[in-house]
Amino acid sequence: MVEDRLIQKALEAQKNAYVPYSVFPVGAALLTADGEIFSGCNVENASYGLTICAERSACVKAISEGKKDFIAIAIVGDQDNPTPPCGACRQFLYEFKPDLKIHLIGREEIITFDLRELLPEAFGPENL
């Protein structure tokens, strides 16, 4: 099943997280329309504002390889409950796929949202 592969890739990416400040590793795996999966992890910085989230890390990797047609993303946090993407990541992902499927994985449950549910009344390219 595609979701299982996506979740596995997100879990693998989570192991590479650089989180000396928050000690909160996050992994993400982004599925493209042609079946490729791009993973990413959060990378913190002593200047907190320069921290890169796992979701944006995966997205930038895909875009840098010429992929922009996304289907779904799996996000794994280090909690029992699923960890939703931050506002910046929601906005970043909306740029490329407003109806992106977002699978949030916690130790206890998995929940799935459409990005529009997590970012209602979003501002996107159509607003320019």
DSSP conformation class of 98: T
Question: Active site includes 126?
Answer: no
Q: Which two tokens stand for residue 82?
A: 């699923």
Strand extents, DSSP E, 21-127: 27-32, 37-41, 70-76, 101-105, 110-114
Cα–Cα distance list, 14 to 11, 29, 58, 94, 114 (Å): 5, 10, 11, 23, 22
Rounded Cα distance between 63 and 42, Å, is 17
- Of 55, 108, 121, 126, which is the active-site residue? 55
Start-to-end C-alpha separation, the chain? 38
Point out the residues that are catalytic: 55
